[in-house]
Amino acid sequence: MPVYEPAIDLAGISAIDMHVHLEEDSHGHRAMPEDLFEASAAYFKSEERTPSIDRIAEIYRAASMAAVVFTVDARTALGHLPNSIDDLVAGCARHHDVLIPFGTVDPRTGGDALVEARRQAGELGVRGFKFHPSLQGFDPSDPEFRPLWNELEQLGLPCIFHTGQNGMGAGLPGGRGIKLRYSNPLLLDDVAAEFPGLVIIMAHPSVPWQDEANSIATHKANVYIDLSGWSPRYFPESLVARGNNILAGKLLFGTDFPLITPEKWLAAFADLPLKDAVRPGILKDNAVRVLGLGTP
């Protein structure tokens, strides 16, 4: 399998969506059990729930956008293997003009996670990694995981961490055992402080901890916020206000597709009280810098 290499015409795209899920591989293996899958679909009221990698590429190419695509390896917490990261990267390689693959490892697998991270970076060419502390069931600030963060810092690849409210398990008894506290952005402040060369992207408006997320992204040069998982019309006021000034270079466009479509997200984004000068950075330029794609 060839190593993925991006071939994105930066002048030809209007935006980079930093948060797109591939839920099934070519063998029909899903990233999560059926009850979690259905609960998240109901929570977001999504329509096209399991588009293929080819369909994702078609949608983003037609919209003149690029997209970061990933899955989540939560084998320890969920008790089954994830959908195939090799299939995901192969699909992104077929569509390297619009798709950018991120890898994923289960931090709870110890040394195996380090080996797999190296494989995905070196042999597959992933451009970053995705973690979901609540779904994967781990506290990212726990010293147990420092070897993994050190490894990823050495690889020089950005990491997206879910933060805030969870669609996973929403409305199920006990939230199906998923613990929200693992998605408190303050746990990532420890990681950002101890591994200053590791670029951390806090996914989503971090409700109910938005002020904490704003503070961390302001304080730590290596921390960013992607704006996925919420319609912009519901963004916390403090996030929008800081997006006009101190966080203008730290915010990244993201949808959570297929749970939220880029069309719906962008329509609501157009109504936010943001300065025209900061919009290009949020939609594309900040992501170009974080992903190391060159000069926007």
Average pLDDT of the segment spanning 44-70: 88
Q: Residue 83 pLDDT > 70, yes or no?
A: yes
Q: Look up residue 155 and give its two tokens.
A: 């690889």
Nearest in space to 167 (alpha carbons), one of 82, 266, 259, 232: 259
Above 50 in pLDDT, residue 53? Answer: yes
In this structure, how many other beta carbons lie within 10 angstroms of the beta carbon of residue 114?
17
The share of the chain scoring above pLDDT 70, in percent, equals: 90
User: What single-letter amino acid sits at 68?
Assistant: V
Say what the pTM is.
0.92
The answer to whether the CB of 205 falls within 8 A of the CB of 229 is: yes
Confidence of residue 58 (pLDDT cuts 50, 70, 90): very high
The predicted pLDDT at position 20 comes to 98
What gap in Å lies between CA 207 and CA 200, rounded to an integer? 18
- CATH number for domain 10-291, candidates 3.20.20.140, 1.10.3720.10, 3.40.190.10, 3.40.50.2000: 3.20.20.140
- The torsion defined by the Cα of 3, 131, 21 and 245, in degrees rounded to 10, comes to -100
* Per-residue model confidence (pLDDT) at position 27: 47
Query: What are the tens digits of pLDDT across the range 226-244?
Result: 999 999 999 999 999 999 9
pLDDT at 95 over 50: yes
- Rounded-to-integer distance, Cα 175 and Cα 166, Å: 9
Concatenating the DSSP letter of every residue in 127-194 gives --EEE-HHHHT--TTSGGGHHHHHHHHHHT--EEEE-SS-STTTTSGGGGG--GGGG-THHHHHHHHH
Mean per-residue pLDDT over the chain, rounded: 92
pLDDT reading at 161 higher than 50: yes
**Does residue 82 surpass a pLDDT of 80?**
yes
Q: 119 falls in which pLDDT band (50, 70, 90)?
A: very high
Tell me the pLDDT tens digit for each residue of 249-280.
Answer: 999 999 999 999 999 999 999 999 999 999 99
pLDDT in tens, 189-240: 999 999 999 999 999 999 999 999 999 999 999 999 999 999 999 999 999 9
